[in-house]
């Protein structure tokens, strides 16, 4: 019997924000195990001044002890939704620790602040985990209004490697969705080697038991695609967006703009992304 394992990273121990709510909703839909992870950050820079190391270590241990005390609250939350899982506490560099922990899970879930200027260009904590974890990441904006996750899904497809990784990762979610709209903007990759087996997208979806409405996305300039995707998600009342992240480099996204950058800056619904 197949099983799905989810890992929710909590930057702050608040179980009532959009991140935990989205994690609970997705776990309930998939019948998945859900573990919570808090990391008491101990970056390498903490060791640059030897005399400050004992203070840094003591503060980190204190935060770990405080975090451990929330294990009962986590178990109560899971029990209220008939879910299983554990409460994990670790110390170390946040990105490295989260990426290492996520290796044993099917999905990593992270809440992202809309106010942080580093997120759009791909160098924030969430963005670095998308690159470093090699796992699909459910990115939950802290402005998202969470009801369901995965009932109505919009898939942004452009034929890229990243797009294919996101689509494949989303199969368990898509197989349980009530409605799926796929926006096909693959014309921009028409001259590339196809990443899906022939004869193509519609056949691949059918073979995986996924019924989706496929519409062509005519975005014109690449930087306009993000706005069109978000508008379409709102119009279709989607509660989840599935897409590849950074088909272009982070530098190109920063200088030229791009779909990932736009949706990370302006998105207000959970996004299952892969790179």
What pLDDT, on a 0 to 100 scale, did the predictor assign at position 256?
Answer: 36
Q: Contact 242/99 with Cβ under 8 angstroms? A: no
What pLDDT, on a 0 to 100 scale, did the predictor assign at position 258?
Answer: 77
- pTM (2 d.p.): 0.91
What pLDDT, on a 0 to 100 scale, did the predictor assign at position 48?
Answer: 60
What pLDDT, on a 0 to 100 scale, did the predictor assign at position 192?
Answer: 76
Q: In angstroms, rounded to a whole number, what is the distance separating the alpha carbons of residues 57 and 52?
A: 9
In the chain, what are the domains? 5-141 (3.40.50.620), 152-274 (3.40.50.620)
Taking alpha carbons only, the member of 97, 99, 100, 101 closest to residue 86 is: 101
Task: Give residue for tokens 């979610």.
Answer: 173
**pLDDT tens by residue, the chain, 275 residues:** 468 999 999 999 999 999 999 999 999 999 999 999 999 998 666 556 666 677 778 889 999 999 999 999 999 999 999 999 999 999 999 999 999 999 999 999 999 998 765 444 557 899 999 999 999 999 999 999 999 999 999 999 999 999 999 999 999 999 999 999 999 998 867 777 788 998 999 999 999 999 999 999 876 655 588 999 999 999 999 999 999 998 755 444 443 347 888 898 899 999 999 99
Tokens of 79: 């029990």
What pLDDT, on a 0 to 100 scale, did the predictor assign at position 13?
Answer: 94
Q: In angstroms, rounded to a whole number, what is the distance separating the alpha carbons of residues 17 and 164?
A: 30
């Amino acid at each position: 019997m197949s099983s799905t394992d989810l890992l929710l990273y909590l930057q702050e121990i608040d179980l009532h924000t959009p991140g935990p709510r989205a994690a609970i909703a997705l776990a309930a839909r998939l019948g998945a195990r859900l573990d919570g992870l808090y990391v008491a950050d101990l970056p390498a820079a903490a060791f640059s001044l030897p005399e400050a190391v004992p203070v840094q270590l003591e503060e980190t241990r204190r935060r770990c002890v405080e975090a451990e005390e929330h294990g009962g609250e986590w178990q109560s939350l899971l029990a209220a939704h008939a879910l299983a899982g554990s409460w994990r506490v670790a110390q170390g560099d946040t990105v490295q620790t989260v990426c290492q922990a996520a290796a044993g899970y099917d999905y990593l879930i992270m809440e992202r602040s809309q106010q942080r200027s580093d997120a759009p260009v791909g160098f924030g904590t969430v963005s670095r985990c998308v690159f470093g974890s090699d796992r699909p990441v459910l990115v939950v904006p802290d402005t998202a209004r969470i009801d369901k996750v995965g009932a109505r899904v919009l898939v942004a497809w452009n034929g890229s490697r990243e797009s294919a990784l996101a689509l494949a990762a989303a199969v368990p979610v898509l197989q349980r969705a009530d409605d799926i709209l796929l926006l096909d903007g693959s014309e921009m990759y028409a001259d590339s080697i196809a990443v899906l087996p022939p004869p193509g997208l519609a056949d691949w979806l059918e073979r995986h038991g996924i019924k989706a409405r496929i519409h062509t996305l005519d975005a014109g300039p690449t930087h306009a695609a993000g706005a069109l995707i978000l508008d379409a998600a709102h119009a279709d009342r989607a509660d989840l967006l599935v897409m590849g992240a950074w088909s272009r480099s982070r530098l190109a996204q920063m200088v030229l703009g791009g779909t990932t950058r736009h949706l990370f800056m302006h998105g207000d619904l959970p996004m299952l992304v892969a790179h």
